[in-house]
Amino acid sequence: MPKVCQITKKKRNNGYSVSHSHVRTKKVQNINLQNKKVWSIIQKRWIKLRICTKSIKCLHKIRI
């Protein structure tokens, strides 16, 4: 299963880890994914989602 948020479709970010001597090495910044059961208003049932914490905070705005 890929590390992608099922609601916002966010993925990992590529970046650099910079040392004190300014040597840059590549690193990957993964998103904070959590398994969450969410009540669907449209389907009237519980849905298991793998979503990031940013979208957990604004679930009341999102209509699923």
In CATH terms, the superfamily for domain 13-56 is Ribosomal protein L28/L24 (2.30.170.40)
Ramachandran angles phi, psi of 33, nearest 5°: -90, 140
pTM: 0.76
| Residue 11 and residue 31 in contact, taking contact as beta carbons nearer than 8 Å | yes
Write out the DSSP string of 29-63: E---EEEEEEEETTTTEEEEEEEEHHHHHTTTTS-
The residue extents of the domains of the chain are 13-56
Separation CA 36–CA 50 (nearest Å): 6
Q: What's the pLDDT tens digit per position in 5-64? A: 999 999 999 999 999 999 999 999 999 999 999 988 889 999 999 999 999 988 877 766
